[in-house]
Amino acid sequence: MGKSTLQQRVEQANKAGRIARIPFITAGFPTKAEFVGILRELDAHGADVIEVGVPFSDPVADGPVVEAASRVALEQGVTLPWILEQLAGLTPRLKAGVVLMGYYNPFLQHGLERLAADAAKAGVEGFIVPDLPLGEDAPMRAALRAHSIDLIPLVGLNTSEERMREYAATASGYVYVVSVMGTTGGTNSMNATVEDALERVSRVFSVPVALGFGIHSPQQLASLRVKPQAAVFGSALLRHLEAGGTVAEFMKPWVS
């Protein structure tokens, strides 16, 4: 099996001498009317991959910022079919790849085969499902693989190397390393624990390593002894947009 499109996107950024940039934005935030414009702006200002959050009423891994953004989106009537419809009209004009990040229930309710087909039509290249454990992911993985869509694994600072090997056996696209012990958006000084985890992940996985949760600036990564191939940043971007800031302002430190 060859390298997926997502993996190639990250590796192309690395070949250019930089970490791949993966911003996260909740679908329909801050408003449904602004969502597509924000995706275009992220694409125009250096995103290699854009993670789009599918709002859900009962999140388990989201911090207060992402949870609040999801609540706002749900109150506006944002649904998975609406997200796929918006993406279908946009992705042909984006340079960046698109990954959907969300909880298993909405995906299962949509129907896994239907989800994979609709996602492929919408130009989605990968999924991240925080509450879908290894061992229960085979049906979704098979449905997505039939359309060349990656199911991206999540590993944490306390994930054992043995467990990582199990994830690595089916990993495609990239592996997402959670840099904090908890929910998204937490503070993080990028300490030795993170470096140790990155070292173990890099040793076990053949796909690129993306580091996320609690990342708000490239300076956080500068001092790491072991660096990831990609950085995911979400809560900081959501806070910036909620405060009236622009995508261009937020992305400037990442592209300068």
Model confidence pLDDT, tens digit, residues 115-133: 999 999 999 999 999 999 9
Domain that holds residue 47: 5-154+229-251
pTM of the entire predicted model: 0.93
Any domain includes 197? no
For residues 201 and 184, which has the higher predicted lDDT (pLDDT)? 201
Cα–Cα nearest to 61, from 197, 221, 180, 193: 180
Spell out the alpha helix ranges (H) of 76-191.
80-88, 104-110, 112-121, 138-145, 161-168
Any domain includes 208? no
Three-state secondary structure readout of 2-64: CCCHHHHHHHHHHHCCCCEEEEEEECCCCCHHHHHHHHHHHHHCCCCEEEEECCCCCCCCCCH
CA angle (136 as vertex; 48, 204 as ends), nearest 5: 55
Any domain includes 144? yes
Any domain includes 205? no
For residue 103, the domain's CATH number is: 3.20.20.70
Any domain includes 141? yes
User: In which band, very low, low, confident or very high, does the pLDDT at 159 lie, cut at 50, 70 and 90?
Assistant: very high
Largest CA distance in the chain: 45
**Which amino acid would we find at residue 94?**
L
**Predicted pLDDT of residue 120:** 98
**Predicted pLDDT of residue 201:** 96
Q: What is the CA radius of gyration of the chain?
A: 17
**Predicted pLDDT of residue 69:** 85
Domain count, the chain: 1
Any domain includes 178? no
Active-site amino acid positions: 51, 62
User: In which band, very low, low, confident or very high, does the pLDDT at 60 lie, cut at 50, 70 and 90?
Assistant: low
Any domain includes 34? yes
Any domain includes 165? no
Residue 181, pLDDT above cutoff 50: no
**Predicted pLDDT of residue 70:** 86
